[in-house]
Amino acid sequence: MPRFVIPALAVGVLVGLSGCNSASTQGAKAALKAESPVPTERATPTPPASEPSPSPAIPTTPTPYPRHPIPVGTPRCHTTQLEIVFIQANGATGHVLNDFEMRNLSRTPCWVYGYVGFQLLDSAGRPLPQTLVWTTDTFFIRFDPPSRIFLPSGTAPVHSSQVQGHAFFSVEADDSTCSADQMNATAKLEIWPPDEYRAMVIPTKPGWEGFVSCGHLAVHPLQVQPGPSSG
Q: Are 214 and 19 in contact (CB under 8 A)?
A: yes
Please tell me the number of Cα atoms within 13 Å of 46 on its side-chain side: 16
pLDDT tens digit string along 174-184? 766 677 777 78
Which residue from 60, 26, 56 is spatially nearest to 134, judged by alpha carbons? 26
Per-residue pLDDT for 61 more than 90? no
Per-residue pLDDT for 16 more than 80? no
Going by pLDDT thresholds of 50, 70 and 90, the confidence category of residue 49 is very low
Give dist(CA 97, CA 114) in Å, integer. Answer: 18
Domain ranges of the chain: 21-31+75-219
Per-residue pLDDT for 25 more than 60? no
pLDDT tens digit string along 171-220? 998 766 677 777 788 899 999 999 999 999 999 987 677 888 777 899 99
Question: Which whole number is the average pLDDT over 59-64?
Answer: 54
What's the confidence (pLDDT) of residue 137?
85
Length of the chain equals 231
Going by pLDDT thresholds of 50, 70 and 90, the confidence category of residue 95 is confident
Please tell me the number of Cα atoms within 13 Å of 186 on its side-chain side: 28
